């Protein structure tokens, strides 16, 4: 049973790392928390490309 858990966690870590590597080169952002490069990128309706201090992410836009 513990071997199954270790294998499952390893596969999860590999998949998460692979998705992160893909997001590094992504220009547009189609889902919440996906990296974007500026306000000109295409976040979903109701989201804006907002700086988190280091990177930009699509976040809900609550108004001006």
Could you give the CA distance from residue 8 to residue 55 in angstroms, rounded to a whole number?
Answer: 30
> In this structure, are residues 56 and 36 in contact, taking their beta carbons and an 8 Å threshold?
yes
Average pLDDT, integer, range 3-24: 62
Give me the pLDDT at residue 60, please: 81
Give the model confidence (pLDDT) of 17-63 as tens digits: 544 444 444 444 445 566 676 655 667 777 777 776 777 777 787 77
User: What does the H/E/C string look like for 7-62?
Assistant: HHHHHHHHHHHHHHHHHHCCCCCCCCCCEECCCCCCCCCCEEEEECCCCEEEEECC
Give me the pLDDT at residue 51, please: 74
Q: Is the pTM of this model over 0.75?
A: no
């Amino acid at each position: 049973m513990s071997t199954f858990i270790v294998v499952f966690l390893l596969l999860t870590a590999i998949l998460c790392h692979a998705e992160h590597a893909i997001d590094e080169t992504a220009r547009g952002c189609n889902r919440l928390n996906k990296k974007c490069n500026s306000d000109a990128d295409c976040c979903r309706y109701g989201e804006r490309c907002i700086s988190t201090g280091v990177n930009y992410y699509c976040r809900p836009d609550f108004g001006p």
